[in-house]
Amino acid sequence: MPVDISIVVPCYNEIENISPLVNAIHKILPDTKWEVIFVDDNSPDGTIHRVRELAAKDPHVRGLLRIGRKGLSSAVIEGILSSSAPVVAVMDGDLQHDESCIPAMLHAIEKDGYDVVVASRHVEGGSSSGLSNKWRHILSRQGILLAKALSVPVEDPMSGFFAVRRRWFEKISPSLSGKGFKILLELLFAAPKPIKVKEIPMVFRSRLHGESKLGPEVMFHFIVIIVKKFLKNLFSK
């Protein structure tokens, strides 16, 4: 069936969060045609089996199982490129992203003509209170400072919750490395300028199930992206 928005959810060991997330999306999009695509990196907890159980009953639900490939950024890219809607939202599968942002994101792209809409913790009305520990706060804060030093046009470039126009993304996708965890930052760097981007406030919630995947590896890949961008700017002058 034709859909207005596809919601891509990269996931790994999120079996307990699948049903609550689908139920939450049903409540927030009662009059919108949508699909949710869970991109699972062969989770040992059987996440994909829970997705398939729901998909057998609910035509809104799709599952994409990846074997021998891992990583959030590449999962997002594959999920978006497999979507069927003109607008695609990307969100985590851990229930920390507030799904009530989705209608405003869809409206901003569909009606107001934005290319990218970011659910932001760092604009008025947003909050990062759900970050679980001091380490995650430090990573987020330092990452934002580094990104803004390179003139990234948003207040929350570390956000994992955003929406794009699919055709716009398809043109940029060959330039994306698919490495690391912060796909939004690489997307903003790779996109032709100017980018028509909007931020809407989001309250980042506490995790109920599973474990956070943010750690030193995330920051390492983030720094690699920043260094590459810096060198590119340096040698293009």
Per-residue confidence (pLDDT) for residue 211, from 0 to 100: 52
- What CATH number corresponds to the domain at position 172? 3.90.550.10
Beta strands in the chain (DSSP E): 5-11, 34-40, 61-65, 87-90, 116-120, 162-165, 197-201
Per-residue confidence (pLDDT) for residue 54, from 0 to 100: 98
Other beta carbons within 10 angstroms of residue 137's beta carbon come to 12
The phi, psi pair for 117, rounded to 5°, reads -130, 125
Number of domains in the chain: 1
Residue 59 CA to residue 9 CA, distance in Å, equals: 16
Q: Give the residues of the chain that fall short of pLDDT 50.
A: 212-213, 234
Residue 213 CA to residue 230 CA, distance in Å, equals: 26
Could you tell me the pTM of the whole model? 0.85
Structural domain span for residue 178 = 5-235
Indicate the SS3 state at residue 166. helix
H or E, element range at 48: helix 47-55
Per-residue confidence (pLDDT) for residue 104, from 0 to 100: 98
Measure Cα distances from 71 to 30, 61, 74, 177, 213 in Å: 32, 21, 6, 11, 11
Per-residue confidence (pLDDT) for residue 209, from 0 to 100: 56
Residue 184 CA to residue 119 CA, distance in Å, equals: 11
Per-residue confidence (pLDDT) for residue 220, from 0 to 100: 59
Per-residue confidence (pLDDT) for residue 138, from 0 to 100: 56
